Structure 1
Amino acid sequence: MSQRSRSVALIATTALAAAGLAACSTPEPSPGVTEDTVTVGTHTPLTGPAAAGYSSISAATKAYFDYVNDNGGINGRNIEYIVKDDGYNPATTSTVVRELVQEDEVFAVINGLGTPTHSAVVDYLNENDVPDLFVASGSPKWDQPDTFPNTFAYNANYIVEAKALATYAQETWPDKTFCVLGQDDDFGTDFTTGLVQVLGADGLASTQTYSVSVQDVVAQVGAMQAAGCEVNFLATVNGFTALALGTAAKMKYGAQWVSSSSGGDYPTLVGYLGEDVAPLLLQGFVSSNYLPFSPDDAWVALFQEINDEYNDGAPFSGNKIYGMSVGYLFAQALAKAGDDPTRESLLDALEVGALTGNGIVPLGFSTDSHAAFEGVGITVVDEGVQDYVDGEIYTTDAGNGPVEPYTGEAVALEGDGIPTA
């Protein structure tokens, strides 16, 4: 063989080797991604004790995805959304999430609902490298990047909510007696921790808990009445918020009620209490929120239109805004993940801090933080309308950091509410 022939052969061999390496380095398609679709899933209570308060969330998320799909999808792909009912039962959650991962082969799990329920699957999702996005719970445990690198929160942290609500209560009712009724799990414990950070170790005259399996809070409300509680904080799901207020009314016990956002949606509470009674019982009711909420907000108007067209005109509520806001944030992350999204590029999109969501306060996502909204605004019900109190928006952390007023702008609606890269 001539020198030229040997050189040509060497070049050809080198080229083939390089081509082989390039082929080997091409990332494998992630589960749930095809040329035309991205499939995601969730676990949520469509039945059981929490269903009446939360079953409408996933329907609203699906309505938003249907709207996106009818308008070209995200980077040319439609979003397919699989909803599994877990009945707010952790054992069932484990079963249905394994179905989503092993049988449905979802790209990601988004907005799995509940602290006790999602706690049953967070290890499994991280061990299997499944993006576990926007957990529908304010527990601080979702913000542990070193322990759960695939898990990102959505709700404002319960401690953050409680610190903001306690600050507002101290400023508004400085001489009143404060108490709390909380769920007997991390929800109630974390919320109470936040209250104590602001009010002090002796700042609560009575601390009561309830179980979602027992539809009776007469003993708890009676204990609060006996303790002289004048301002009662609630770490309750919507059904138990209504149960507490209804029970107090029957006992002729008047108090100021201040609720976590998880149990503070006015239209949902009206559904429990009835249209005749609710406006009376809920007058002055205080809650927190971090999403667009005001009746004249552009996001609210868009979501109302989507609800009317894609959700069979179901009654519009804060849960619908929540569900569609989750859908928007996932669509934004998917758009940022690139034309050929992988699970890795999706997680990278969250950690670079490029996502804004549509909240009234900033998102906290970064490499070091998987917490979502870094504060809350205060809402009050007045004559049947729940809206933000002007100037009452606070930011803080889940530790001992100060509670500070937030004066930044809410995220404005752009275009048709469908994110692009």
Structure 2
Amino acid sequence: MRNPRTATTGVDARATGAVAATAVACLALAGCSTPAAATPGISDDVVTVGTHQPLTGPAAAGYSSISAATKAYFDHVNASGGIHDRTIEYVVKDDGYNPATTQTVVRELVQSDGVFAMLNGLGTPTHSSVLDYLDQHDVPDLFVASGSTLWDDPEGHPGTFGFNADYVVEGAALAQYATDEHPDQKVCVLGQDDDFGEEFLAGVERVTGADGVTAHESYSTSNQDVTAQIGALQAAGCETVLLATVNGFTALAVGTAAKMGWSPRWMASSSGGDYPTLVELLGEDVAPTLLEGFVSANYLPFGPDGEWVELFRQINDEYNDGAPFDGNTVYGMSVGYLFAEALAQAGENPTRESLVQAIESGELVGNGILPLSFGADDHSAFDGVGITVVADGVQDYVGATYALDGESVTAVEPQPVALENDGVPTS
């Protein structure tokens, strides 16, 4: 793995020389730590990380609340003394879900704000546009908010790590659940017209085979009309429809089908399966009826009675102005927890290299319902998901959990992580 480069632009040459001399001395002394000043985004008492998020634009309705939840979790950590006596500063910049804007704000975060790491940059088209840039500048690119397999490339992008269960895993798990529960039904797929939809379909076909998908339709996020796609699926006699959709298009598909008098069984990726968000989008008057029995994949502790959810609700009330509590809240705080855990493991004087090594060590636990899969040769977070079902207006796990091992999908037992130390990691 390449050693991270230290940015010295605008730094006095004598100061740069002093840092270099200290580094040489450290090489000669066992146990000597790199001074905080040598690492961008690290001071004696603050760690600065950044992100690009769709606070406005076409993805804002489903995802704009994530970064606020992450910041609220960091406020909780900071109130407890931070990590190794450093508070976490989270710099959030709006990219409007536009790759060109993503490139601009990420350069600002790296070159002007001097962030230690990029954390949970959201979206496949947006984040893929800065993937090489972050690698070239040796900025740890952590826990990307997308299920694309692009982030699992230890050789090509050694500092990049995913967070979501990838789309192949989710497609395979949902297809296996559909096959197990309703073996004789016609299975169809509606997906986004990019790698989200393509990789999800590939996962479905690992279970059903290419001939096992009765019909496949795709949509573009630039077109808010899926009437033609829903009509085609209905005409094909689809009984179970698997969705590679973001929340807005999940609601659009379900609502359009309802207007056409059609009600297949819906099963969605975690990216578009958050019940509270869907209720908000569809309306409280019709959503409970349309979404009864709605199935989704998930990998985070979203059970309504769980100890993590109870903690996150408390944090949300105290540090996030009591914003609506939904899957985005749990997601954002879970990302924050995982970063805090990695930072704690990176040492008292963390460097970008020690941060990456902490994640690759395989010792991080996270707070998911299955063990993390991070390692030196694996930069994906989860290789399995659980199945949630909406019953009487409550979305919860039903016990069915699947993992993808190579080409095989297997049923596994969930292994939820217990809450410790009020949700503040220690080394």
Same fold (TM over 0.5): yes
Tell me whether 1:406 sits opposite 2:396 in the alignment.
Answer: no
Superposed CA deviations along residues 227-257 of structure 1, whole A, max 9, x for unmatched, are 1111001000000000000000001011000
- Is 1:158 aligned with 2:167? yes
- Cα deviation code 1:268-317 (max 9, x no counterpart): 00110011111011000000000001111000000000000000001100
Q: Helix, strand or coil for the counterpart of 1:326?
A: helix
Deviations 1:142-179 (A, max 9, x none): 11100110000100011011111100000111111111
Residue 27 of structure 1 deviates from its aligned partner by 3.4
User: How far, CA to CA, are the matches of 2:386 and 2:136 in structure 1?
Assistant: 36
Give the 4+ runs in structure 1 shifted more than 3 A. 18-21, 23-28
Counting only pairs closer than 5 Å after superposition, residues 287-326 of structure 1 correspond to structure 2 as: 287-326=296-335
2:285 pairs with 1:276: yes
List per-residue Cα deviations over 1:367-400 (Å, max 9, x = no partner): 110010120000000111000012x011114x41
Establish whether residue 394 from structure 1 lines up as the match of residue 402 from structure 2: yes
Secondary structure of the 2:263 match is coil
Q: Which is worse superposed, 25-34 or 337-346? A: 25-34
1:54 alignment partner, one of 54, 63, 66: 63
Give runs of aligned pairs for residues 139-150 of structure 1, distance below 5 A. 139-150=148-159
Largest Rg, 1 or 2: 1
Match of 1:167 among 176, 198, 201: 176
What number of residue pairs does the alignment pair up?
401
Asked if structure 1 preserves the Cα contact closer than 8 Å seen for 2:288 and 2:392, the reply is yes
Pick from 397, 415, 418: which aligns with 2:424? 418
Q: Deviations over 1:319-364 (max 9, x none)?
A: 1000000000000000001111110110010011110000000101
Query: Take 1:218 and 1:343, find their aligned partners in 2: how far apart are those partners?
Result: 48
Once structures 1 and 2 are overlaid, which stretch shifts more, 25-34 or 118-127? 25-34
Amino acid at match of 2:401: I
User: Offset of 1:409 from its aligned partner?
Assistant: 2.4
Q: In structure 1, the residue corresponding to 2:161 is in which secondary structure?
A: strand
- 1:22 and 2:25 matched: yes
Alpha-carbon distance change, 198 to 27 in structure 1, aligned in 2, over 3 angstroms: same
Q: Matched residues in 1 for 2:51 and 2:245: separation?
A: 22
Deviation at 1:204, TM superposition (A): 1.1
Mapping for residues 106-125 of structure 1, pairs under 5 Å? 106-125=115-134
Q: 1:20 to 1:162 in 2, by over 3 A?
A: closer
Corresponding residue for residue 101 of structure 1: 110
Partner SS for 1:34:
coil
- Corresponding letter in the other structure for 2:71: K
Verify the 8 A CA contact 2:23 2:34 in the aligned structure 1: no
Cα shift at 1:51: 0.3
Q: Deviations over 1:90-110 (max 9, x none)?
A: 111111111110111100001
Q: Aligned AA for 2:383?
A: E
Letter in 2 for 1:282: L
- Counterpart residue number, 2:271: 262
- The answer to whether residue 344 in structure 2 is matched with residue 332 in structure 1 is no
Secondary structure in 2 matching 1:359: coil
Q: 1:19 to 1:90 in 2, by over 3 A?
A: closer
* Structure 1 position 89, deviation (Å): 1.1
Match runs of 1:184-203 below 5 Å = 184-203=193-212
User: What SS is found at the alignment partner of 2:88?
Assistant: strand
For the residues of structure 1 that align with 2:279 and 2:23, how far apart are their CA atoms?
A: 64
Partner of 1:12: none
Aligned partner of 1:293: which letter? F
> Which residue of the partner structure matches residue 359 of structure 1?
368
Distance of 2:51 and 2:119 partners within structure 1 = 5
Shift of 1:415: 2.1
Which one-letter code corresponds to 2:211 in the other structure? D
In structure 2, the CA distance between the partners of 1:176 and 1:88, relative to structure 1 (3 Å rule), is same
Output the CA distance in 1 between the equivalents of 2:24 and 2:72: 43
Task: Letter of the 1:368 partner, please give it.
Answer: D
Please list every run of 5 or more consecutive structure 1 residues that lacks an aligned counterpart in the other structure.
1-17
Cα shift readout 1:62-117 (whole Å, capped 9, x = no counterpart)? 00001111110000000000111111111111111111101111000010111111
Q: CA RMSD in A?
A: 1.3
Q: 2:40 aligned with 1:37, yes or no?
A: no
TM-aligned CA deviation for residue 20 of structure 1: 9.1
2:92 matched to which residue of 1?
A: 83
**Which ranges of structure 2 fall in alignment gaps of 5 or more residues?**
1-20
Q: Say which SS state the counterpart of residue 205 (structure 1) adopts.
A: strand
Partners of 1:62 and 1:347 in 2: CA distance = 22
Which residue type is aligned with residue 403 of structure 2?
Answer: T
Kept after mapping to 1: 8 A contact 2:34/2:349: no
CA distance in structure 2 between the partners assigned to 1:87 and 1:218 by the alignment? 26
**1:373 and 2:379 matched:** no
Please say if residues 390 and 396 of structure 2, whose CA atoms lie closer than 8 Å, have aligned partners that are also in contact: yes
Taking a change above 3 Å as real, the CA distance of residues 188 and 408 of structure 1, as seen in their structure-2 partners, is closer
CA distance in 1, matches of 2:179, 2:167: 18
- Cα distance change on mapping 1:223 and 1:77 into 2, 3 Å: same
Q: TM-score, normalised by structure 2?
A: 0.92
- TM-score where L is the length of structure 1: 0.93
